[in-house]
Amino acid sequence: MKACALGKNWPPLPWVDRRLRNAQDEMDGLVVINMGWKKVAQFEDYAQAHAALAELAKKSFSLPEPDRRLYYLQACLSLDSFCAFSEGKLPKLTDQVGLFLHADCAPVSQAYLEERCAKLQQLFTQRGYNGTLKENTAKWEAENRVPADQVQSTMDELMVTARELTGRFLPLPEAHYHCVTERGGAFSARSDYDHLRVIVNIEPAYTLQALKHLVCHEAYPGHYMQFTMRKVLWEQGLAAADGLLSVCNHSSSSTFEGIADMGGRFIGWEDTDDDRIFSVLSEIKSSMGTLSSYQMNVLHWSDDQIRASMAQWPLLGGPGAIKSRLTFVRDPSRAALIWSYWRGDQALRNVLDRVEAKDMPRFYDYIYGRLHTPASLQLFV
């Protein structure tokens, strides 16, 4: 892989560390993973942090590359907005989505869901299913379900194949990822980079296609490769140090998740009818995350009302998936973050759909070698 020549001399961002808020919960804050960041800017209060970010935003205009200028400017606004949120000055969820993520803050529309459902029913009809959409979804899910006690071994087997396919276009790390399972939590799966593992919550039910998606998203060519490439390129002097941190509720969150979600497409794992069915079901579930968060945190619906709304649409994972989703969007620090998945998919697709095959190596350099916002991603030419 030919790395991007980003340089090491650009100004560091004064990232908001989880400890700045004096939080009791270690998961409270922005920084999720630190792969070697050494510089820490200490501020006596939020006023100093706001002033430092304003000065850094001005300096961003001197950066030589248009996408990096835009990225840093939006990153500063994200961090400044998160400081305001931490001070209790940004209470509206839609403002948080727009200012943290720089994403469209509207929840999914019924028209979009209906269009995806029509596409899904068309795929089921082509497969010979003849029931209602919910009946067809339930039948398909039952036919493709992986028992909970086989999730770990299935994930490990799938990672072997995904790693080999990823190695055809990205340099692979020597260390291999593996899977462990647990029950409960506000997630389906998460990448534990420090321990080289994917943690899968087996309370929701999974199909084989869902596990393929999790492998691609969390490991190959998703988060594990994203973390690894950014660290290695920085060590080689070819990438900026901001890539050493994985952050949430940030201008890079949507593209970070979108790149991971496109992993199956990158390695050619979306080529069967079952994969295509799952892809539409995944779009429905991902987009509905925005609706569930909006209903809970803006409309102040009860859990029962939100469950009834979710039940109108074809969803995978059963009661465990619904429980996990409600737990996720109830957390004030995650209520906006859930927009990053669906909006990230959209941002990546908008660019990927216009990139010709001959330009894909350069595109991989662009997305794995530096951080992006949805807007800076669009500047790839």
pLDDT in tens, the chain (381 residues): 333 322 333 333 333 333 333 333 434 468 888 898 887 788 999 999 999 999 999 999 999 999 999 999 999 999 999 999 999 999 999 999 999 999 999 999 999 999 999 999 999 999 999 999 999 999 999 999 999 999 999 999 999 999 999 999 999 999 999 999 999 878 899 999 999 999 999 999 999 999 999 999 999 999 999 999 999 999 999 998 989 988 899 999 999 999 999 999 999 998 899 999 999 999 999 999 999 999 999 999 999 999 999 999 998 888 999 999 999 999 988 999 999 999 999 999 999 999 999 999 999 999 999 999 999 999 999
**Separation of CA 310 from chain center:** 21
pTM: 0.90
The amino acid present at 93, given as its one-letter code, is L
Query: What pLDDT shows up at residue 12?
Result: 37
The whole-angstrom separation of Cα 74 and Cα 378 is: 14
Query: What pLDDT shows up at residue 41?
Result: 81
- What's the full length of the chain, in residues? 381
CA 31, 27, 306, 113 torsion-angle sign: positive
Tokens of 220: 């190959």
The whole-angstrom separation of Cα 16 and Cα 109 is: 33
**Separation of CA 77 from chain center:** 20
Closest to 249 (Cα-Cα) out of 99, 368, 57, 349: 99
- In the chain, what is the greatest distance between 2 CA atoms, to the nearest angstrom? 65
Three-state SS annotation for the chain: CCCCCCCCCCCCCCCCCHHHHCCCCCCCCCEEEECCCCCCCCCCCHHHHHHHHHHHHHHHHHCCCHHHHHHHHHHHHHHHHHHHHHCCCCCCHHHHHHHHHCCCCCCCCHHHHHHHHHHHHHHHHHCCCCCCHHHHHHHHHHHHEECHHHHHHHHHHHHHHHHHHHCCCCCCCCCCCEEEEECCCCCCEEEEHHHCEEEEECCCCEEHHHHHHHHHHHCCCCHHHHHHHHHHHHHCCCCCHHHHEEECCCCCHHHHHHHHHCHHHHCCCCCCHHHHHHHHHHHHHHHHHHHHHHHHHCCCCCHHHHHHHHCCCCCCCHHHHHHHHHHHHHCCCCCCCCHHHHHHHHHHHHHHCCCCHHHHHHHHHHHHCCCCCHHHHCCCC
Nearest-10 Cα torsion for 303, 308, 314, 320: 40
The whole-angstrom separation of Cα 256 and Cα 251 is: 9
Tokens of 140: 């398909």
Residues whose CB is less than 8 angstroms from the CB of residue 70 and which lie 6 or more positions away in sequence, other chains included: 373, 375, 376, 379
